[in-house]
Amino acid sequence: MITSLHLKDFKNFQNAKIKLGPVTTLVGANGSGKSNLCDAFRFLHGIGRGYTLAQIFGGALGVGGEKVWEGIRGGAVGCARHGQEGFAIKLETLHESGSDETLVYEINVLTPKAPHEPTVRQEQLLMEEEEVYAAKKESLQDVQFSLSLAGLPDGNWDIDDKSPALYDAWKLSQNVEEEDPSGVIDLNEAGYLLGSLESLKSCLGEIRFLDLVPDQLRKPCAPGQSVLGARGENLSGVLQSLLKEEKNSQVLLSWIDSLLPHEIAGIEVVPVSPSTVQIALHEPGGNMVDGDRVSDGTLRFLGFLVALMTADPGELLFLEEVENGIHPSRLHLLIELIESQAQHRGIQVILTTHSSTLLDFLNKQSREHVYLIYRDRENSSGMVQQVMALPEAGNIIEKQGLGKLHASHWMEDSTLFSLPDPEGE
């Protein structure tokens, strides 16, 4: 579970920190920086997948030449705040699900203009303030990292500054006996090292980003799929796999039946060609509504439902503009779905929204993790404000509701008036 994210000079954020809960909600005007926060998580996700910096920023190709990673908007230079030549990200996460041991990961990246490549300036991982590994250069001109790993003798390991050190440190820790034929390594400490690295690598590598598109959700796909695509690809195939268990069928039907104004007799996945299947809803009386006729909002709700039901414990889902296509009177179901699945499955959800109505349905725990993303009026830097930390926020929200305060611009106004006076007056 990721507990906090700290950004320095990343995109429009000069210095911003956000603490995450089971459900974290980001609100703010268009262009305030919500998508930039998403890009910070995508950068970390690329590290977890073992990509080089060039691949993280510019995109990665698979074995067959197909694109498996889209890169980050703006590329390397665009990820550094205007006028800066790099950025730093610090992440805190629990060692594993249910653990109270904290891992702290930091990376500092240089992003020079072309033709120079982005490089890592410094990187480290701490476990309860004890160093797990550290990678740094003696000077900016050095290419070779000086890498130290807990339990392993110091050495000039074969890594350079074009890639984050996490993946290489993880690989080295898997082969400690090969790296130390003399047998002087403390294997207990080496096992501790490997466990910490695997925990962080898994945490970052399992982040998922969903921006569901109805046309992709309703598109027929091959049966037997197990992973929902970022834009909703493979929905029918994943749904078919879920429906094989009767308890899943009942859960899916219950949620969809609650969403729609009319009764639904069943959910099915039917063949539409010799090699593809598509979702279909059954209405009482025998009428079947195939995927081409299912509404956009129903498909998006079903896509979120399937993603949440297939997420592994400890996984983080980043859901953008979740309210799109959902009628305001049904948004409470969407929030109930997200909060219940986050608790039941032990997953985390970050969602972005422009909907005041949606905010009113957040439970007390989720309200603690609502953040306003806004621009500083002096220098246009991105800022992050925990809404419940504003003066008297709890009492005011209890009386008026979070949605009304959002719609009336109270969050922005309260943030402005609560800031210290730069002149000291």
pLDDT at 418: 67
Give the tens place of pLDDT for each residue, 343-357. 999 999 999 999 999
Give the tens place of pLDDT for each residue, 169-185. 888 777 664 555 445 44
Element (H, E) at 416: helix 410-418
Give the tens place of pLDDT for each residue, 227-258. 899 999 999 999 999 999 999 999 999 999 89
Q: How many CB atoms neighbour CB 272 within 10 A?
A: 16
- Mean pLDDT, residues 215-232 taken together: 92
Give the tens place of pLDDT for each residue, 302-317. 999 999 999 998 899 9
pLDDT at 421: 44
Do 130 and 189 form a contact (C-beta atoms < 8 A)?
Answer: no
pLDDT at 169: 83
- Mean pLDDT, residues 361-386 taken together: 92
Do 394 and 370 form a contact (C-beta atoms < 8 A)?
Answer: no
Q: How many CB atoms neighbour CB 57 within 10 A?
A: 23
Burial class (CB in 10 A: 0-12, 13-18, 19+), 240: buried
Do 150 and 192 form a contact (C-beta atoms < 8 A)?
Answer: yes
Question: Which of the pair, 276 or 99, is modelled with greater confidence?
Answer: 276
pLDDT at 142: 57
pLDDT at 187: 45
Task: Report the C-alpha gap between 91 and 275 in whole angstroms.
Answer: 44
pLDDT at 37: 95
Give the tens place of pLDDT for each residue, 146-167. 677 766 665 556 678 899 989 8
pLDDT at 184: 45
pLDDT at 13: 96
Residue 285 has pLDDT above 80, yes or no: no
